[in-house]
Amino acid sequence: MKQLNISIKHNLIVGLLIGLWLFIFAFIIKPFDDGTINFRAWFFISFGFSFVAFLCYGLLAIVQKSFYKRIEKWNISLEIFVIFLFYLMYLIGVFAFYKSPILDGGYTFSQFFSIIFIKVALILTPVIVLARRYLIKLIPIKDDILLFKGENRLDILKINKADLVCISNAQNYVEIFYLENDKLRSKLIRSSLKKVQDDFGFLVQIHRSHLINPMHFKSWRNANTIILTQIELPVSKNYKEVLLAL
């Protein structure tokens, strides 16, 4: 996972889905029913559990949007962390609701966690994971602008995706070849080829030292060389099959 849908609107829809799922779970399963709670009370309890979940996920949406705008990247570790953060906020919020004068629950925190909260987390986690994966598909398509950032503060290059031709390794730098006014230009940025490939998944590796934008592939010069727009590059045996499959 390299993208995150930071739309507050889309995430609030997921929050509503989570709240609805929790309401159904709490109202039907009744995870701490002792036989003395009537229909009206169960409805109120279920609504409270679901509403707290919606508020916590709404807060999470704001936090993750702010964080994502600063780092401009996402991965599985961060995804696991924000789900854990949601559960932490929800545990605190729903336990406060449970112990409030409204419910005046009798379980201790450890009892509440083991008897009630674990059940909620187990039933809710698949819904959260699937919903967040689906959110990625809702990310609006924007103009394809690529932003390259190096280790040095001034190492910045912003170009259209269609203008990027290829990227080559240059010891501690990468050399980015791109078109500007139909002329091939290049810029050195202090970074690694692996990082660039991780950041821009559409690039195709043809050699341990070269990545290409497949949009600019023209033809084969011979068995070991390809022709791109205004440049030729070698192709190693390890990556030839990938290129032939394009």
Q: Please report whether residue 73 resides in a domain.
A: yes
pTM: 0.59
Asked whether residue 119 falls in the same domain as residue 160, the answer is no
* Structure tokens that stand for 50 in this block: 């679901």
At residue 37 the predicted structure's pLDDT band, cuts being 50, 70 and 90, is: low
**Cα–Cα dist 94/90, whole Å:** 6
Mean pLDDT of the chain: 89
Please choose, from the candidates 212, 206, 209, the residue with its C-alpha nearest in 3D space to the C-alpha of residue 231. Answer: 212
pLDDT at 63: 94
Coil, strand or helix: which one is 109? helix
Q: Mean pLDDT over residues 110-137, rounded?
A: 90
Q: Secondary structure of the chain: what % helix, strand, coil (to 5)?
A: 50, 20, 25
Asked whether residue 226 falls in the same domain as residue 131, the answer is no
pLDDT at 28: 78
Question: Of 99, 115, 137, which marks where a domain is finished?
Answer: 137
Asked whether residue 131 falls in the same domain as residue 153, the answer is no
**Total structural domains within the chain:** 2
Q: Please report whether residue 1 resides in a domain.
A: no
Question: Of 88, 106, 137, which marks where a domain is finished?
Answer: 137
**Cα–Cα dist 167/174, whole Å:** 7
Question: Of 137, 162, 178, which marks where a domain is finished?
Answer: 137
